[in-house]
A and B are shown apart, each in its own frame.
Chain A
Amino acid sequence: QVTLRESGPALVKPTQTLTLTCTVSGFSLGATGMCVSWIRQPPGKALEWLARIDWDDDKYYSSLRTRLAISKDTSRSQVVLTMTHLDPVDTGTYYCARMQRVYDGSHVRYYFDFWGQGTLVTVSS
């Protein structure tokens, strides 16, 4: 049974750095094709993809790339996201999700098949 669970601080002060951990079970972060992404959602707003790390340690970032760093510890089944220079607009629910990356010989297909329950992060002084 695949599960993902986010953990991290609920309250962060502006300008500080946020560190979130996603602990997974039911699959290996080192298994070919396994990817994990971080996605956030400000209150009442749309989903926003932040970053992705693949089984082979390839990393991809959104336009917030200068503030983001994603890493994984396969032995501990954890994916860590750090975000620097927090601002109140970064307030929202942060999700980690397993991303299926399927290559069929001509196209690569991506979709999120399992999600964590999310963790609410508030940026306020």
Chain B
Amino acid sequence: QQQVKQSPQSLIVQKGGISIINCAYENTAFDYFPWYQQFPGKGPALLIAIRPDVSEKKEGRFTISFNKSAKQFSLHIMDSQPGDSATYFCAASIGTGANNLFFGTGTRLTVIP
């Protein structure tokens, strides 16, 4: 059973555009929501994370929007660049990010010049 659902499966965006990836969860015990970026043949790297006490968190060009009532959260990549082309995973855990992470299915982002 997929505890975190992610969409779209793939995304193509033009350079300079906004990339938006959405995730939804069912388990209301989740209280830590990170996003990871993975390049081919590499392990995932933490991009940005949020807790349910805030509705938005921004770090540089990356923003997480969080809707607790809808149990949804999304990643927005502003001014997308070809170097952002990678697979993005949302995840969720209970308590802290040091606990078991439940990953979404991943979104393969391609930014075209």
Chain A partners chain B: no
Residues of B participating in the A interface, judged by any CB pair closer than 8 Å: none
